[in-house]
Structure 1
Amino acid sequence: MVQVLSISGTIFALIALGWVLVRRGVFDGKALDVLGGYVVTCALPALIFRAVSSRPVGETFDAAYLLVLLVTSLALFGAGYWLLRGGFGCTPTAATFGAMGMSCANSGFVGYPMLGLALPGVAEHALALNMSFENLVMIPLVLALAEAEKARAAGATTAIGPLIARRLAGSPVILALFAGLAVAALGVPLPQVVTGPVNIVANSSAAVSLVVIGGGLAALTLRDLGALAWTVTATKLLVMPAIAFALLTGLAALGLAPAPASLGPALLVMTALPAMSIYPVLARRYGEVTTPAAVLLLQTLASFVTLTALLALLGLPA
């Protein structure tokens, strides 16, 4: 248990550091915006580029891993949207982002640092798989639904496809993903003048991103939490990894499992993470402010317990 706590404790100690720095006035919102911008536009793309370019192209695609992630994420997104619309009476936009909070994990900011401690051998491999799926499937899905509802409410017909395509084409993460795939496909070793800076910037991703998450939570409060927030949190932290485990078990019985084998536990950790940190940022752009921010706070706090328990169940520190 001490080994387990050393992993989860390290992650949440850095989140707590960010919280303290903001609460004590060392950083403010503008500083967090700068640090967050650095992670999104520099550190995380560098990490993705290194993860993808440093391994054969075939390792960026793992059928069992991606199938489990696809089925789990889309099933939860659809069920979550239906539940929030019918059971809680949410608007289509609120239901869209609530479903996002149930099905989109923070693989870059929390998952990679945690796997870097628990399963360092496959941390970058799992990150590449998750980031590819999230940026090519889940985020476009959320944007499409949000933009469609925005257009409907405005009484206009908007060409959603080109809008999403433009946003994806300009995403540093997507550009880094395809650049890494190109380098891997060509099989040409990069010079030290390229790999050196990439490694330095990529290695800064974990620490800076966790501090930014903690700082962003400093201004939030649990006062607005209700049944909806608890439902989104429980679904993300408990139901999602449970479905992924059932699917992994079923596929293994059919002889289809992620390779290497340690990708299976890595996937379970990834599905048990809090929602991605851009979740409340995207929601804010469409008028959903209080609930997504409060949900992220609740998920971050609760995940200290749930992730620690999951690591112990999986026996990863051993």
Structure 2
Amino acid sequence: MLQILGITSPIFVLIAIGFLCVRFAVVSREQIAGMGKFVITLALPALVIKALTERPLHEVFDRNYLLAYGIGSLAVFWLGFAFSRWVRRDGLSGSALSGLGMSMSNSGFIGYPIVAMVLGPTAAVGLALGMMVENLLVLPMALALAEAGDQRGVGIGRALAETFRRLLRNPIIISISIGLVLSLLEIPLPSVPRKAIEMLAMASAPVALFVIGGNLYGLKIGGMFADVAQLGVGKLLLHPLAVLLCLLVFPVQDPALRVAAVLFACAPMMSIYPIIGQRYGLEGRCAAALVASTVLSFLTISAFIAVLH
């Protein structure tokens, strides 16, 4: 147990430092937002390009990993959507966001630092593969459903078209495309840009953890136990279990990648979850779920590491 705490504790120490720095006005929310933008637009894309260009494409592209992670994530998304829609009688937008919160991990800000500490360089490959599923499948589907249920009456076709246009400008999607092209054509990066990319990639984990801690300050749970319980159980338990079961059907040859898939699924929902919810008037619910899941993930991630070890 002490070994597991030795792996997970530094992650949450950095999160706590970010939280305290905002709490005591060492850094402002605007500065935290700027750091988050740096991670999303530069550091994580650099990490993805580094992962995809360091190894031949056939070693990076793992069909079974994509199938297991994708099918497991989709199963949990639709389970969460159905439970919210037909059991809890939630609206279409709320049900879509419930499914999104249960099935899309905070892969960059929490998942990657933890997996990197457990597995090393394999974490970057898992991050790139997982982000293909999250950014090309889960997120567009959830946003299209949420837009269709919005009071403004935006049709699902228009929502899909707008989502597709946004994805084309997404730095992560652009970096995945660049990395895949370079790997497919076997074009090596020159030494200077390669070194710059490596330096940016190294900054992704610590800055990301600091940002998630800063973003947690000021978020309140208050009276949303049912929503928080559903999203917490779905994200922290059902999602990794679903991916683990799918790995039995679609076995991944590399044992490190198998562990990476489950640990990425263990991470709480993405830190921009309340921002997405704000568009549909559900920021309170999303923020409460984010706070609770991030705190409880310390226990669940440690438990999964123990079991997988």
Q: What TM-score do the two structures reach when normalised by structure 2? A: 0.96
Partner of 2:161: 162
Gaps of 5+ in 1: none
What is the deviation of 1:155? 4.0
For residues 214 and 146 of structure 1, what CA distance do their matches in structure 2 show? 27
Q: Deviations for 1:134-154, whole angstroms, at most 9, x for unmatched residues?
A: 11111111121122223xx32
Aligned residue in 1 for 2:51: 51
Distance 1:275 1:125, change over 3 A: same
Mark the runs of 5 or more structure 2 residues left unpaired by the alignment: none
Distance in 2 of aligned mates of 1:44 and 1:239? 27
Say which SS state the counterpart of residue 177 (structure 1) adopts.
Answer: helix
Amino acid at match of 2:264: M
Instruction: Measure how far apart 1:161 and its partner are.
Output: 3.1
- Pairwise CA distance, 1:91: 1.4
Partner of 2:60: 60
In the alignment, does 2:229 pair up with 1:235? Answer: no
Does the 8 Å CA contact 1:105/1:271 hold for their aligned counterparts? Answer: yes
1:48 touches 1:177 (CA, 8 Å); kept in 2? Answer: yes
**What is the CA deviation profile of residues 208-258 of structure 1, one whole-angstrom value per residue up to 9, with x for unaligned ones?**
111110111111123233112111101111111122222223x2xxxx521
- In structure 1, the residue matched to 2:266 is 272
On the 8 A contact 2:140/2:160 being kept in 1, the answer is no
Matches within 5 A, 1:57-96: 57-96=57-96
Residue aligning to 2:187: 188
Map 1:1-318 → 2, pairs under 5 A? 1-150=1-150, 153-155=151-153, 157=155, 159-249=158-248, 251=249, 256-315=250-309
How far apart are the structure 2 equivalents of 1:212 and 1:241? 24
How big is the shift at 1:84? 0.7
Change in CA separation of 1:299 and 1:156 when aligned onto 2, cut-off 3 Å: closer
After superposition, the C-alpha distances for 1:164-221 in whole angstroms (9 at most, x for unaligned) are 2210111111111101111111212111111111111111010111111011111112
Do the aligned partners of 1:100 and 1:142 also contact (CA within 8 Å) in 2? yes
8 Å CA contact retained: 1:59, 1:125: no
What's the offset of the Cα at 1:285? 2.2
Over 3 Å counting, the alpha-carbon distance change for 1:108 and 1:29 in structure 2 is same
2:281 alignment partner AA? G
